[in-house]
Amino acid sequence: MEFLSEYGMFLAKAVTVIITIAVIVGIAASALAKEKHDKPKIEHLNKSLNELKGYFESEILSKKALKAIKKSAKADKKKSDDFDKKVYVLDFNGDIKASQANHIKNEITAILAMNPKPDEVVVKLESGGGMVHQYGFASSQLERITNQQIPLTVCVDRVAASGGYMMAAVADKIVAAPFAIVGSIGVIAQVPNFNKVLKKNDIDFEVHTAGEYKRTLTMFGENTDKARDKFREDLAEVHVMFKDFIENHRPTVDVSKVANGDIWYGQKAIELNLVDELKTSDEYLQRKAEEADVYLITQEKKKTIAQKLGLAAQASVSKGVESAIEKMSFQKWFY
């Protein structure tokens, strides 16, 4: 009887675990079905700046001074509650895959559909570059703004290098912080090769293709000089495309001087015409808020299913492995 009792308890616990797992899976499936695209968060920067200013004044100034400020503020408000000009600010923090390109695409689509059109679009851009085709796509999205004759300004506080600078070059004006890094107009592709290791361990590796250049260099097969030459030729061709792009969008830049893959800080970059003005994005936007309604558009990041289920660590490891594989793929060219 004791054995049956213990066995019964074991079965009850097992069923409980199974039910718990089923519930978790059900929640995950339900959340996945309901999950939608992240919605943009829109902040009226003028209002936020005024609230911050008001807080400091209330904590520091005397009652008499505060009374005078309030009186002056009421008089200003009677003159104009809203500015005629509207400025929209977008954020782009680029990773190797320019993952935010889809977000900025949707934001630009919404902005261009508005009537009246904005008086200016500002993009706060931070990126060290990444995949050629991805950053080409992101640059094309910014071109949609200039194609509509809407002034586009790109602000760089830290870095806009390689593919990041390719995006910045689309703008009518590039504003950079004095020590922001810009440039890196070059192309790189790295290919690990494990052929010697395979041979040492008597492991054969075969690659079959239809088309002479379907595959040039390989990670596991034995690479030939002909394949290397073709690979370098393709690399040089992408570099020419990059240089032509910069020359077309920034005609004042001497591409022969700056397209060597080197980087420059803002103070030197302005001498080379890589940027137009030295100023932080905060200063630029604060001045804009004195003459226009400025709206900051950002994406609210929703938790992934893994994070909701407390599996953030596993998700992070998975993402890291995926990123490593992505970097090892020799079919990807990098700005």
- Which residue in 139, 162, 184, 281 is the catalytic one? 162
Q: Is 14 exposed, middle or buried (0-12, 13-18, 19+ CB in 10 A)?
A: exposed
Q: Write down all domains in the chain, each with its CATH number in brackets.
A: 40-184+255-308 (3.90.226.10)
8/29 Cα distance (integer angstroms): 31
Is 47 catalytic? The answer is no
* Residue 214 a catalytic site member: yes
Q: Report CA torsion sign: 102, 103, 105, 110.
A: positive
Name the β-bridge partners of 126: 93
For Cα atoms 110, 111, 116, give the angle at the middle one, nearest 5 degrees: 120
Contact 138, 108 (CB under 8 A): no
The residues pairing with 293 across neighbouring beta strands, listed in sequence order, are: 86
| Residue 199, pLDDT score | 86
Helices 132-147 and 101-113: angle between axes, nearest 10 degrees: 10
pTM of the model: 0.76
- pLDDT tens for the 335 residues of the chain, in order: 454 455 455 445 444 544 444 444 444 444 444 445 567 788 998 888 777 766 676 677 666 666 666 666 665 554 445 788 999 999 999 999 999 999 999 999 999 999 899 999 999 999 999 999 999 999 999 999 999 999 999 999 999 999 999 999 999 999 999 999 999 999 988 888 888 888 888 888 888 888 888 888 888 888 888 988 898 999 999 999 999 999 999 999 999 999 999 999 999 999 999 999 999 999 999 999 999 999 999 876 665 555 555 545 454 544 554 454 444 444 455 66
> 10 Å Cβ neighbour count for 62?
8
Among 62, 214, 256, 301, the one annotated catalytic: 214
Distance CA 156, CA 98 (A): 16
The predicted pLDDT at position 278 comes to: 97
Which of 212, 207, 211 shows the shortest CA–CA distance to 222?
A: 207
Closest CA to 165 of 282, 275, 326: 275
- Residue identified by tokens 């804009």 is 288
Long-range contacts (CB closer than 8 Å, 24 or more residues apart) made by 217-223: 217/191, 217/193, 217/330, 218/193, 218/330, 219/191, 219/192, 219/193, 219/194, 219/328, 219/330, 220/193, 220/194, 220/195, 221/195, 222/195, 223/193, 223/195
